Structure 1
Amino acid sequence: MRNSRPIILFPLLCFLSSTISILCEPNTLVCNEKEKHALLRFKKALSDPGNRLSSWSVNQDCCRWEAVRCNNVTGRVVELHLGNPYDGFDLEFYRKFKLGGEISPALLELEFLSYLNLSWNDFGGIPIPSFLGSMGSLRYLDLSYAGFGGLVPHQLGNLSTLRHLDLGDNSGLLYVENLGWISHLAFLKYLGMNGVDLHREVHWLESVSMLPSLSELHLSECELDSNMTSSLGTISEVHFTALSKLKVLWISGTSLSFHVNSSIPTSGSGRGFLSGIVDTAPNWFWKFASYIVWIDLSNNQISGDLSQVVLKNTFIDLSSNCFSGRLPRLSPNVRILNIAKFILGTDFPFHVQKMNGRSKLEVLDVGLCGA
């Protein structure tokens, strides 16, 4: 009995040693063979002038390929990081490394893909493939700045687990006829549709207000002008109270109208920016807006005296509007305030109201204010 303990401990130590050895070995994960060949077909349909996908070779494990991420346990492909590493501000490198061509339906074979980023590429105005709506595992889809065009497919509404959707800034080539499908994305936290033409969709606000998890909304330059606000009806508090988690709101360049004291000229510039709309944002809107961290209402035609309004935002852009009188009261949390290019309807200038507490204001832009 005296020697039994070492005999028992020896195999246990051997087991622990082998387990630790396996865990400490370099990654031996091997990707799924079917998914590997699907990715190669996907690559074949793309144009890749900068050879960004040169590591995508039949002789190499696809889990080690550039821009591919696999599950650490199963080896299944879960993420494709194919956004251009250079944005359009570095034009030389952007052109060299942008992807183009076609989006192959071979992606459908990546049944566990949860993340797809194709941003800052150039697909030459081709439509967004409707089959993307069949990729039910997607939680993150970024097609911004990618040169897609045409009708946004309603099939995207089938992506019920989606958290992040960005279709913005595709050179104004995308449009929506019916946004009802967006209301099916109950878990959506980020919606980016900057530059997507929404003028055909008069019920856009009703659809967006049905997203209870939404925390960030980008709808700048979406053609939401006077040609459709008359059929939209009044923008009411009901539309916004449902968006209780919203923290970032960008709706610049929309010629936003609240139909409170609207004065719309009989002649204008057609779709797009229409000067001359004079609308007063109601008190409930400013109460709602004060709880948003980042808010951009620039390049609209919103009017009114904001002297009784208190804004608590970190970033506020109210430039190129028709406000008059005093600025709203600002909490000490405000860091950036842009009131440049105001169109003042009165003979008296703006006055910055005294702020209580220690101000954190870092940037104040009042350029070119005037009547």
Structure 2
Amino acid sequence: MDSNNIIWKRKYVFAMMLSTLCMICSCCDERDKEILLKFKEGVTDPSGLLSSWKQEQDCCQWKGVRCHNITARVIHLTLECDYYDVAEALVHDDYYLQKCLTGDINLSLLDMEYLQSLDLSFNDFTTISSDSTVNSSILNYIDLSNNEYLSLKSLEWLSRIPSLEYIDLSNINLRMETNWLHWMTVLPSLVELSLDSCKLEDISPSLDYANFSTSLQYIELHNNYFHSELPKWIFNLSSHVLEIDLSSNYFMGQLPNMLPNLHSLTSLKLYGNYLNGSIPDWIGQLQYLTTFAISHNYFSGFFPTNLGNLSSLDTLMAHGNLFTGVVSERNFAKLKNLKILSLESPYITFDFDPLWIPPFQLDELYIAPLHPTLPQWLYTQTSLIDLQIGNSRISFEADDNNNNFWRFASTIQHLELRNTTIEGDLSEAFLNSSIILLTSNNFKGGLPRLSSNVVFFQLYNSSLSGSISHLLCHSKKSNNKLQYLDLSHNNLSGGLTDCWMNWKSLRYVNLGGNNLSGNIPPSMALLSNLTSLHLHENNLSGDISSSSLQYCRSLSILNVRKNSFSGNIPKWMPQSIRIVQLRSNKFIGNIPSQICQMPLLIVLDVAYNRISGHIPKCLNNITSFVDMHYSTSWIFYTFYGRTGFFIYRDDLILLVKGQQSDYYSNLKLMRMVDLSSNNLTGTMSPQLFSLSQLHFLNLSHNRLTGTIPKEIGNMTQLESLDLSKNELTGEIPESMSSLSFLSNLNLSFNNLRGQIPSGTQLQSFSELSYIGNADLCGPPLPKNCSNHGDDTKASGENDDDDGDESDFLSCLYMGLGVGFASGFWGVCGAIFFSRKCRHAYFRFLYDLRDRFYVLLLTNLNSFR
């Protein structure tokens, strides 16, 4: 015993000495260091993530590198980008965010023989290269996920790492890898496989068995392109499998009727597919199942009652299906651990015993449709933080019941009622939830009152009436947290009220589609955080150029279309402005040059006003209109709660190509200038047509003159151009034929002339694009240009040459005419007024007659 203690103590002392020695001197293995530096050479590091990777320093001290305490060999390499915000990425949809490392992943990293884990996730790598055979025997964890621009043609190299247990390649393009399933099945130690959002297409649906190792526990194939039946091999995996995620694909068909070999399954996610048929009975036998998510499919038949036996179930998501029949307390009999329940189908009826008390306490509930009353057991859910009720017709029999519901709802953090008809006067309600969405309902009365806890309040497309002062002026507190207010598309009337000083946290305000009137109140000047203001489609008036909005220096969206605002276009708009929509008002004056100092501007819409003067030549100073690499980050609102976060983006209705369209997630890609239906004069400068990133340009119904500049060919992204009903002259420039994205064109009712450039897409538009130009010819117009060949040819010269040549010909013809007249009358005068000239003239005629007679007789005799 003593000898063993002595040996142990010696080993411990030796380890401590070695550890101390490593702290004093550089202990990094030179071969590992060489491999890491070679990797660094192949990448670009704009954020300086590898700034500590220097030759003279110990590589064990480099950022992201972890070495063994004793051997000092590299065992973990973690270079996940610290600057990547997942929430922001979800908002942007396209991952435009600045990440860290770009370039090439050199697989020689795997030659570090003691490397156990490699994490290069959330970067911008584009390629993988290999200078080695990749034969690692220790590596058990590899994460290359969320390198969205990384495309791999083969995963064969992974099969040479038999020790791999965890693989995450989510959000990598694997479309070209058709043999991915084989390479995964040859890994004997694989425990977890994540291939979410990889653009995979082949899943071998007819394969009965996939020979995964018996150690496999998690398989995630969410959001791919599997257009097939559910694969048979999925349901024949090892009984040790715990989680299967096949959601958000294109799977069709039905679940198998026979009980699969998945006795230990804890999570089955099939939502967002095209699955149909009934839910098989074997689902009710999975005693360890905690998550069952089948929402947004086409499952039908009765909702199975045996699901009520799954005592381990905590998440049941089944909304968006076609279930029929009655759902009652029998369907939830033993679900004592249930925390999340969502169940919705237009063909089911909920019929609960009013005395039933559930065995569970829910955190989240989404249920629809309910009729005619709310189930009484709802009021027993004291832990509920998220309640969503949709597509229901609920009637409170008395005001007391109405008050009971709103009193109960005040304890819920996230409250959503949509497409419901609830009787009762909403003005009597006092709302306390942090997040409230009451959309597309049929509420009566006026607006409710809000507590200072409300952060997000959306109450649009209902039938509420009265003044907004009932909501905004009841509170005299300065600690209100409200950031998002949407009361659009109701029947609200009166003024904008002057109580905005109590709501300084507001970032988004939408009061559009009501009957509001009056001016912008002074207290709006205190909304220093306001980024989006929508006052469209009301009866508001006044001079907005001198309103209190000029103090809202964070404003990014100003939407006041279809009102009666007057005065000049405001000059005070901040440089952060992205959208200016002033159409259909009574604005006068010129377009201010300050517009050109807004680099983020993507929509300038001042159509249908009384604007005069010239179009500013400086519009090409707006960066977003000219720089193809310039990307404006979009305005979004993120709200966090106990159940996670949700995101709202701004939207806008725009008139494009003659049609109104609602732009939402694609609004940030819009580049638009609409100055139509005003009194603009002057010519269109070449600078206007240097806006190479503009998509939509409408200058119609003005009094513009001059020609269409040839620089229009620079607008390579242009999709719609409307110059109709102006006073434009000259020819259609040949450069317009290079606008390959142009799908809408209107040049009608101008004074254009000459031939429409032939052999281009300009002939693909209808006659309506060109009518009202009397001197315009060529297809698609019926007027043929061949009868005007000389004129057409002459019109090809520039206007100055045309003018000079025309003046010269006029003078020439006039001179010839005057000369002929002078000579003619000079001869006639001499004959008729001089006797001697008259006798000589007639003698000449008689002599000419005789000569002609003799010549004729001579020629006739020769023929005889």
TM interval, short-chain normalised: 0.7 to 0.9
Give secondary structure in 2 for the equivalent of 1:150.
coil
Structure 2: how far apart are the matches of 1:21 and 1:213?
37
Structure 1 residue 33 displacement after superposition: 1.7
Match runs of 1:28-43 below 5 Å = 28=23, 30-43=27-40
Q: 1:307 to 1:155 in 2, by over 3 A?
A: closer
- Alpha carbons of structure 1 residues 39 and 100: separation in structure 2 relative to 1, 3 Å: same
**Structure with bigger gyration radius:** 2
For 1:157, the equivalent position in structure 2 comes to 159
SS in 2 for 1:320: coil
Q: Is the contact between residue 238 and residue 262 of structure 2 (CA under 8 Å) also seen in structure 1?
A: no
Q: Give the aligned partner of residue 102 of structure 2.
A: 100
Alignment partners' CA distance in 1, 2:128 and 2:75 = 24
- How far has the Cα of 1:254 moved from its partner? 3.0
Q: For 1:26 and 1:204, how far apart are their aligned partners in 2?
A: 60
Mapped pair 1:319 → 2:295: yes
Query: Partners of 1:61 and 1:194 in 2: how far apart?
Result: 37
1:255 aligns to 2:262 (yes or no): no
* Paired residues for 1:214-293 under 5 Å: 214-226=216-228, 229=229, 235-236=231-232, 240-256=235-251, 277-285=252-260, 288=261, 291-293=264-266
Tell me the distance in 1 between the aligned counterparts of 2:11 and 2:161.
Answer: 44
Report deviation, 1:188: 0.3
Write out aligned runs for 1:77-226 (5 A): 77-85=74-82, 86-91=84-89, 95-124=97-126, 126-127=127-128, 133-147=134-148, 148-170=150-172, 172=173, 174-178=175-179, 179-200=181-202, 202=204, 208-226=210-228
**2:446 corresponding residue in structure 1:** none
1:329-348 correspondence runs (5 A): 329-330=307-308, 331-344=310-323, 346=324, 348=325
Distance of 2:131 and 2:263 partners within structure 1: 38
Is 1:365 aligned to 2:342, yes or no? yes
Aligned to 2:555: none
Task: Give yes or no for contact 1:299–1:321 (8 Å, CA) kept in 2.
Answer: yes
Matched, 1:61 2:39: no
1:317 to partner: Cα distance: 0.8
Question: CA–CA distance in 2 between the matches of 1:353 and 1:175?
Answer: 49
TM-score norm. by structure 1 comes to: 0.75
Which residue identity lines up with residue 158 of structure 1 in the other structure? R
Amino acid corresponding to residue 51 of structure 2 in structure 1: S
The 3 A distance-change label for structure 1 pair 351 and 26 is farther
Which of these residues, 353, 363, 369, is aligned with residue 330 of structure 2? 353
CA shift in 2, pair 1:196/1:206, >3 Å: farther
Residues 232-262 of structure 1: CA deviation (Å, up to 9, x unaligned): xx954x7644412111110112333xxxxxx
Rounded to whole Å, the distance in 2 between the matches of 1:52 and 1:169 is 22
Equivalent of 2:45 in 41, 44, 48: 48
Q: Which residue of 2 aligns with 1:263?
A: none
Whose RCO is larger (CA < 8 A, sep 6+)?
A: 1
- Return the alpha-carbon distance in structure 2 between the equivalents of residues 357 and 297 of structure 1: 23
- TM-superposed CA distance for 1:17, in Å, is 12
Query: What secondary structure is seen at the aligned counterpart in 2 of 1:213?
Result: coil
8 Å CA contact retained: 2:237, 2:262: no
Q: Is the CA contact (8 Å cut-off) linking 1:198 and 1:204 kept in structure 2?
A: no
The CA deviation string for residues 306-364 of structure 1, in whole angstroms up to 9 with x for no partner, is 374414421221101222312351322211111121134x5x35556344446111111
Q: Which amino acid aligns with 2:34?
A: H
Is the 1:199–1:223 contact (alpha carbons within 8 Å) kept by the matching residues of 2? yes
CA distance in 1, matches of 2:13, 2:214: 50
Distance 1:58 1:314, change over 3 A: same
SS in 1 for 2:38: helix
Decide which structure has greater strand share. Answer: 2
Q: CA RMSD in A?
A: 3.4
| 57-66 vs 204-213, which moves further | 204-213
* Aligned-partner SS, 1:199: coil
Q: Is the 8 A contact 2:159 2:183 kept in 1?
A: yes
Contact 2:107–2:128 (Cα < 8 Å) also in 1 = no
Contact 2:121 2:146 in 1 (8 A): yes
Distance 1:166 1:20, change over 3 A: closer
Tell me, in whole angstroms, the C-alpha distance in 2 between the residues paired with 1:41 and 1:204.
Answer: 44
Distance in 1 (CA, whole Å) between partners of 2:13 and 2:187 is: 47
Counterpart residue identity of residue 322, structure 1: Y
Contact 2:106 2:128 (C-alpha < 8 Å) held by counterparts: no
Name the CA distance, whole Å, in 2 between partners of 1:169 and 1:160.
23
How far does residue 215 in structure 1 lie from its aligned partner after superposition? 0.4
More moved, 62-71 vs 324-333: 324-333
Inter-partner Cα distance in structure 2 for 1:142 and 1:110? 16
- Alpha-carbon spacing, 1:319–1:335, altered in 2? closer, same or farther (3 Å): same
Aligned partner letter, 1:252:
S
Residue segments in structure 1 that go unaligned for 5+ positions in a row: 1-14, 257-276
Write out per-residue CA displacement over residues 184-236 of structure 1, whole angstroms, 9 at most, x where no aligned residue.
1011001111223443453695674432110000112332223xx4xxxx954
Distance change >3 Å, CA 319–CA 37, structure 1 → 2: same
Q: C-alpha separation between the residues in 2 aligned to 1:193 and 1:116?
A: 17
Determine what percentage of the aligned residue pairs are the same residue.
Answer: 25
Which secondary structure does the structure 2 equivalent of 1:39 belong to? helix
> How far did residue 141 of structure 1 move?
0.9
Moved more, 110-119 or 94-103: 94-103
Give the aligned residue type for 1:143. Answer: L
The DSSP-based 3-state class of the residue aligned with 1:152 is coil
Contact 2:106/2:129 (CA < 8 Å) preserved in 1? no
Per-residue CA deviations over 1:50-82 (Å, capped at 9, x if unaligned) read: 111111111211111111111222111111011
